[in-house]
Amino acid sequence: MTTSQSSQTVTAGGGASYTVNVSPLNGFTSTVSLGVSGLPSGATASFSPSSISGSGSSTLSVSTGCSTPAGAYTLAITGTSGSLSHSTSVTLIVNPAASDFTISASPSSSTVTVGGWTSYTVNVGAVGCFLGTVNLSVSGLPSGATGTLNPTSVNGSGSSTLNISTSSAASTGAFTLTITGTSGSATHSSTVNLTINPSTSGSLPAGWSDTDIGFVGVAGGASFSNGVFTVSGSGSDIWSSSDSFNYASESLSGSVTITARVASQQNTSSWAKSGVMIRETTAANASYVFVFVTPSNGVNMQYRNGTGTSAVQLARQTGHVAPYWVRLVRSGSTFTGYSSADGVTWMQVGTISVSMATNALEGLAVTAHNDTMLNTSTFDNVSVTALTGPTTVYQINSGGPAVTSFAADSFFSAGQTASTTATIDTSAILSPKLIRL
């Protein structure tokens, strides 16, 4: 019995193998069973095959553990057949266990508009027998940007999310961020690129602004030209207890009606969403009501009644795709959604009572339902009507004008201000009537 390798070297936690050869003498044809002794602590061994008939070879595989002590060990390999027994020896050299880690981050680059958010995934990998704690940090952030790591440390191996938020005054341009992991005396780092673009809200009508809400994989934006809003939004969804999307909006108080035709919508997902929304704040978990068009799931109405609560699917009208009209009417705490193929004949989608501050945001919301790309949608025929007329009762004499003059509700259309005149014919009223305006 012989071996093809007299010595093998391994790092603790690794493995080595030897080839054991059995040769017959004087016509020997019996079965030889194989065994090994002299293994260090934390090491195991196996033969394949475990026995040889007559002649042949077997592979001895030795596996060491992270706790196997470093040193040189003599292994005795024994072959037994009945009363016959022969052995040979080999050397196993065990070096100290490797203990280190690696760090990487993805995506390698991300773009955000000032005032927006983005995130990276930081991955920590164990090398050899590493079981230590890696403390994480980030450097290279520009002025007006902050970075938070969750969690701030990883034990052995795992991942952490680096969230980057930018203020409206953040520095713009391209920046290199360095993510560093430290464990004892070991330090490793990885770099990612961050591009901060100027805000596009300057091209929106007066009073309107645009922002990415929640964490989005690709920064969105909005613009307005020749009566058409173009809104681009990434984000995983507007759903559950927190949202991620792009929102072009204005702030109005009281009862409001917002109408828009979703002229076009990119099919980034069957549940990509483009439509009209009334939202309490820009917080990712804020209350909202949303009437929207999808590429494959028709027109829907969804809402969140309370900060941080789960969103609810109220109603769906199947078969509708862009171009299609949507409308959302707020009267106090009652919100009613409508849809229309032509902007003339409207069908109610649903109605719901939602507790929301009187002063809220009304606008156009877009999510790709895919955090790796933008859903670019266009909206035309956008109008926002705020109920600003009188709430008192005015006397109108039969057949005559109002005793006291009054103003009609104001009408606001994207990019302009218009007015309406209400004419009331009272010639047929012969007795006092209460007319609600």
pLDDT tens readout for residues 112-167: 877 777 889 999 999 988 999 999 999 999 998 889 999 999 999 999 999 888 87
Residue 36 pLDDT level (bands cut at 50, 70, 90): very high
DSSP 363-382: EEEEE-S-TTS-EEEEEEEE
Amino acid 237 reads D
262 and 377 within one domain: yes
Residue 71: what pLDDT? 96
How many C-alpha atoms does 290 have within 13 Å on its Cβ side? 30
Q: Which of these three, 197, 214, 244, is where a domain ends?
A: 197
218 and 324 within one domain: yes
Cis peptide bond prior to 151, omega within 30° of 0: yes
For residue 295, the enclosing domain spans: 203-386
260 and 289 within one domain: yes
132 or 408: whose pLDDT is higher? 132
Number of Cβ within 10 Å of residue 184's Cβ equals 10
Indicate whether 254 pLDDT > 50.
Answer: yes
72 and 118 within one domain: no
89 and 131 within one domain: no
- Give the position of tokens 């390999």: 77
For residues 32-37, give the mean pLDDT. Answer: 97
Residue 63: what pLDDT? 96
437 and 363 within one domain: no
Cα 344 from Cα 357, distance rounded (Å): 31
Indicate whether 219 pLDDT > 90.
Answer: no
Residue 391: what pLDDT? 42
142 and 45 within one domain: no
289 and 192 within one domain: no
Q: What are phi and psi of 203, to 5 degrees?
A: -90, 5
Predicted TM-score (pTM) of this structure: 0.53
Cα 233 from Cα 371, distance rounded (Å): 9
**Helices (H), ranges, 16-141:** none
Residue 144: what pLDDT? 87
Q: Which of these three, 197, 228, 249, is where a domain ends?
A: 197
Q: What is the CATH number of the domain that holds 224?
A: 2.60.120.200
Answer yes or no: are the C-beta atoms of 368 and 234 closer than 8 Å.
yes
Q: Which of these three, 41, 68, 95, is where a domain ends?
A: 95
Number of domains in the chain: 4
What does pLDDT average to over the chain? 88
Q: What is the CATH number of the domain that holds 38?
A: 2.60.40.10
115 and 87 within one domain: no
Q: Which residues are CB-contacts of 179 (< 8 A; sequence separation ≥ 6)?
A: 103, 105, 120, 122, 136, 137, 138, 162, 189, 190, 191, 192
Determine the distance from the C-alpha atom of residue 137 to the mean position of all C-alpha atoms in its chain, rounded to a whole number: 21
291 and 163 within one domain: no
233 and 375 within one domain: yes
76 and 13 within one domain: yes
Residue 426: what pLDDT? 53
pLDDT tens readout for residues 285-295: 999 999 999 99
pLDDT tens readout for residues 356-380: 999 999 999 999 999 888 899 999 9
